[in-house]
């Protein structure tokens, strides 16, 4: 349960996770189990509101962008933070590519970080 209003609810493909993100910058990982979902881990991802989120097409990475102008990328399987990047601006990102894992964040319709 979040302390503040939910901003995003994301289901990961192939990995059976539900990830909830709230307006206070908190991200929570939940594992789908036979009789519902089970809480796994919580992160204070951003200092303020989460602006947008995205999950990789293989369901192994999850990215958030906050009004604090930072991108956080999480490993869904290990619940660890893979990468963090501070931006000097806020704009829509439609194809975030880094050396995370091949081209998992190449321009696709699921990826829409930083809202315009």
pLDDT of residue 76: 92
The per-residue pLDDT string of the chain (116 residues; one tens digit each, 9 = 90 and over) reads 777 788 888 999 899 999 999 889 999 999 999 988 899 988 988 988 888 899 999 999 999 988 888 899 999 998 877 777 787 765 544 444 443 333 344 333 334 443 33
Instruction: Report which of 49, 45, 47 is spatially closest to residue 63, judged by C-alpha positions.
Output: 45
pLDDT of residue 75: 94
pLDDT of residue 90: 56
Q: Which structure tokens are listed for 100?
A: 């995370």
**CA atoms of 80 and 104, how far apart (whole Å):** 17
Provide the terminal-to-terminal Cα distance of the chain, rounded to the nearest Å. Answer: 29
Is the separation of the CB atoms in 112 and 93 below 8 Å?
yes
pLDDT of residue 23: 86
**CA atoms of 29 and 45, how far apart (whole Å):** 12
């Amino acid at each position: 349960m979040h302390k503040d209003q939910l901003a995003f609810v994301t289901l990961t493909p192939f990995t059976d996770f539900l990830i909830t993100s709230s307006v206070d910058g908190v991200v929570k990982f939940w594992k789908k189990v036979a009789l519902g979902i089970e809480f796994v881990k919580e992160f204070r991802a951003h200092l303020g509101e989460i602006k947008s989120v995205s999950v990789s097409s293989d369901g192994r990475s999850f990215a958030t962008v906050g009004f604090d102008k930072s991108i956080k990328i999480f490993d869904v399987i290990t619940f660890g933070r893979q990468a963090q990047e501070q931006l000097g601006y806020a704009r829509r990102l439609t194809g975030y590519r880094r050396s995370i894992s091949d081209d998992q964040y190449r321009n696709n319709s699921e990826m829409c970080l930083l809202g315009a």
